[in-house]
């Protein structure tokens, strides 16, 4: 169209070319003898012919634009489908991880002796593989641990042990009824010594983490959904455990919008943020698109934040009291390491040792499980769960976990580090300008490149479940609760909790 209406008369030349405002006679007449060798002198189109040609080009442009839009829409849909399928692919798993469901978890060790209610003769759940029955780590899988193990199962209480719900009511520590009226089920108010106990546990875990070389961080509790997904969680699933935060009121005309296919989508899926299920997500996102010097690794962080979980579908005894709630305080460990499986596996064991040291100092009886493949989640390459014995449940309850995610999260968040890798360069690739002075002009094969880091995470303190374990473990005959000595400096002088 520009050529059609540009200035220049018929037959005029500019730069050795035909004027753009002229067309050949063959082009006007549409005549084509088929030879293609005839060259007719250009003639100038009339105003009417130009307008007709312009309309033809406008229509052609409109059709092309519609075709492009349709193909771009189709391409966008296909890319979305491909991405949605791709992000469902989990990390690889450690070659030594047990294969199968939760029942295939491998028992690593048990620390301490469970407190049992009168009449209870066995404590370990069946279906957990036994790896050892010697020394102080008495491992049991339904009573098959030998005479030594059965003898140690004799820590039976002389009085009935209450669960944490009864203890909390007796000691006026938790208000579930008011929270249900204000917010809904599985929310709670911590009161009196329980409020102090949460703050004490946060301080205790954070100080131990700082002494172990972790940098303390207070994390945001709200993040973009892209960060949640990059960490291996699926915030857009129909059965999502993720809470969404939106500035659009429910029921507002802006809350939903019509899609091109006539469907509806929620406004918050495109504009809002997510409440984090763990500070791990915020700590990982803190390093988004970051390039780190290799000398800085490993980077160790201890983040405090609130965790929010919808806990859709959970039922039964696990939802009772403080064990499975929608919001809780948490101190989370997060580490960036070099992309070396030996290095990150070593750090995983260090994190597990740190967790065990904390729970031993608290005086809890716990066991460590090497979790099987079906329990690893999307991001974990290898994971340990730590479960405390909870007399009120007459069973084990998870209080902590730690995972090596290798480079799964780092690839999605683009977290890399610079490294000098020695590789054999081809002669044409060698740069003599990089020769080391004094080395006889030898060419260095050291090439600066970047690699994705390995990320690891571990729970230092998940507050409500630790409160459950402490109340039930340290309860006394009169209904009071003795606190472990390591928490005394943070409890305003309180060493025992008594009825009001």
457 known ligand binder: yes
Q: Return the beta strands (E) in 156-198 as ranges.
A: 174-175, 189-190
332 known ligand binder: yes
206 known ligand binder: no
327-337/446-452 β-pairing: unpaired
CA dist 111 and 389 (Å) reads 10
327 known ligand binder: yes
401 known ligand binder: yes
49 known ligand binder: no
CA dist 292 and 349 (Å) reads 23
43-44/22-23 β-pairing: antiparallel
Query: Which residue in 315, 343, 318 sits closest to 455, CA to CA?
Result: 343
Maximum separation of any 2 CA atoms in the chain, in Å: 115
41 known ligand binder: no
266 known ligand binder: no
CA 179 to chain centroid, in Å, comes to 29
249 known ligand binder: no
210 known ligand binder: no
Per-position b or e across 178-190, b if 16+ CB within 10 A of its CB:
ebeeeeeebebeb
**Assigned token pair, 89:** 């692919």
399 known ligand binder: yes
CA dist 53 and 462 (Å) reads 74
253 known ligand binder: no
356 known ligand binder: no
Q: Taking phi first (over 0 means left), then psi (-120 to 50 degrees means alpha), and beta for anything else, what does residue 461 get?
A: beta
**Assigned token pair, 396:** 């084990």
328 known ligand binder: yes
**Assigned token pair, 72:** 């771009």
2 with 19: CB under 8 angstroms? Answer: no
Query: In the 3-class helix/strand/coil scheme, how is 380-449 assigned residue by residue?
Result: CCEEEEEEEEECCCCEEEEEEEEEECCCHHHHHHCCEEEEEEECCCCHHHCCHHHCCCCCCCCCCCEEEE
| Residues of each annotated binding site for ATP | 309-311, 325-328, 398-401
Binding-site members for L-serine are: 278, 309, 332, 457
Known binding-site residue numbers:
278, 309-311, 325-328, 332, 398-401, 457
């Amino acid at each position: 169209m520009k050529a059609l209406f540009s200035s220049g008369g018929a037959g005029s030349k500019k730069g050795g070319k035909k004027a753009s405002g002229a067309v050949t006679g063959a082009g006007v007449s549409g005549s084509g003898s088929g030879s293609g060798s005839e060259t007719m002198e250009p003639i100038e189109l009339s105003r009417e012919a130009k307008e007709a040609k312009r309309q033809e080009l406008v229509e052609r442009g409109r059709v092309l634009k519609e075709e492009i839009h349709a193909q771009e829409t189709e391409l966008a849909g296909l890319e979305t489908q491909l991405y949605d399928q791709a992000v469902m692919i989990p990390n690889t798993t450690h070659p030594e991880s047990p294969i199968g469901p939760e029942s295939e978890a491998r028992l690593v060790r048990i620390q301490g002796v469970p407190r049992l209610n009168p009449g209870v003769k066995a404590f370990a759940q069946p279906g957990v593989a036994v790896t050892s029955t010697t020394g102080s780590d008495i491992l049991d899988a339904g009573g098959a641990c030998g005479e030594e193990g059965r003898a140690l199962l004799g820590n039976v209480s002389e009085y009935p042990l209450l669960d944490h719900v009864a203890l909390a009511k007796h000691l006026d520590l938790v208000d579930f009824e008011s929270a249900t009226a204000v917010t809904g089920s599985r929310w709670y108010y911590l009161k009196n010594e329980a409020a102090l106990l949460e703050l004490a546990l946060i301080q205790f875990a954070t100080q131990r983490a700082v002494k172990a070389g972790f940098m303390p961080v207070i994390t945001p509790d709200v993040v973009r959904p892209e960060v949640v997904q990059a960490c291996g969680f699926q915030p857009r699933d129909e059965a999502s455990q993720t809470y969404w935060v939106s500035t659009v009121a429910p029921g507002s005309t802006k809350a939903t919008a019509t899609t091109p296919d006539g469907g509806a989508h929620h406004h918050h899926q495109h504009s809002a943020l997510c409440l984090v299920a763990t500070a791990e997500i915020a700590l990982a996102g803190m390093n988004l698109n970051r390039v780190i010097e290799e000398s800085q690794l490993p980077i160790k962080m201890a983040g405090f934040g609130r965790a929010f979980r919808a806990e859709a579908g959970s039922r039964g005894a696990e939802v009772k009291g403080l064990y499975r709630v929608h919001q809780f305080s948490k101190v989370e460990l997060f580490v960036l390491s070099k992309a070396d499986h030996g290095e990150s596996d070593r750090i995983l064991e260090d994190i597990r040792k740190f967790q065990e040291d904390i729970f031993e100092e608290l005086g809890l009886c716990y066991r460590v499980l090497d979790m099987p493949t079906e329990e690893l989640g999307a991001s974990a390459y290898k994971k340990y769960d730590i479960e405390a014995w909870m007399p009120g449940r007459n069973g084990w309850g998870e209080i902590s976990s730690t995972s090596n995610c290798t480079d799964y999260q780092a690839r999605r968040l683009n977290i890399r580090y610079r490294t000098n890798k020695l590789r054999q360069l081809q002669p044409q690739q060698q740069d003599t300008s990089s020769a080391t002075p004094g080395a006889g002009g030898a060419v260095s094969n050291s090439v600066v490149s970047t690699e994705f880091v390995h990320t690891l995470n571990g729970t230092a303190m998940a507050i409500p479940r630790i409160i459950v374990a402490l109340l039930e473990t340290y309860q006394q005959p009169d209904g009071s609760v003795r606190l472990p000595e390591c928490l005394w400096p943070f409890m305003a002088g309180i060493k025992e909790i008594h009825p009001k």
